[in-house]
Amino acid sequence: MASSSSQILLPGQPIPNSLVAPPVPQLGAGVYEYGGKILASIVGRPKREGAVVSVVGREESGNTPDVGSIVIGTVTRLSPLQAHITLTISNNRPLPESSEEFTGVIRIGDVRLTERDKIKLGECFRLGDLVKASVLSLGDARSYYLSTAANELGVVYATSESGNPLVPVSYQEMEDESTGKREKRKVAKPEGI
């Protein structure tokens, strides 16, 4: 069982009594013992997981995308010129849960490197697709500009119009294994292709 406190501690402040109640906890990261008390050694939130008490600093919990980060998110809105993505992972780590969502936009010119003038966004992404992208820039205050213009970037998981999982068959198509029907996508580099 894990418990934590929403309170932010400064170095030298004691861990709240609720987290150091018996059984006597072991010391984890971000804490030290002095004068019989367990104190924070970094700025962060106190946490107890099993018998271990620690303080989670901003570096561990404040994972936010930056230029060049590889992010994964779900397509939530499509227009003819851009796909809107709700981001959930940055650099293989979950994004912190907060009141504000992390969102990104893939503009039509940032979908792939070649044949940019022939791109139809509806043939690259569909609502609900899970997309792996790179952060191009921080955009405005609410969203990041993203790119899938690399072989290893694009749709990593999708379901067919029938609701079945799709498997990649090329860089531009995925197939419903149940029905055999193919759908167009901007596919992240499929294994074995």
Domain ranges of the chain: 2-61, 70-184
- What is the CATH code of the structural domain delimited by 2-61? 2.40.50.100
* Residue 106, strand partner residues: 83, 146
What predicted TM-score, i.e. pTM, was given to this entire model? 0.66
- List per-block mean pLDDT (blocks of 10 residues) for the chain, which spans 193 residues: 67 86 84 88 83 74 76 93 91 71 90 81 92 88 85 92 90 91 89 58
Fold annotation for 70-184:
OB fold (Dihydrolipoamide Acetyltransferase, E2P) (2.40.50)
CB of 107 closer than 8 Å to CB of 81: yes
Task: Note the pLDDT of residue 51.
Answer: 87
Same fold, 2-61 and 70-184: yes
Element holding 54 (H helix, E strand): strand 52-57
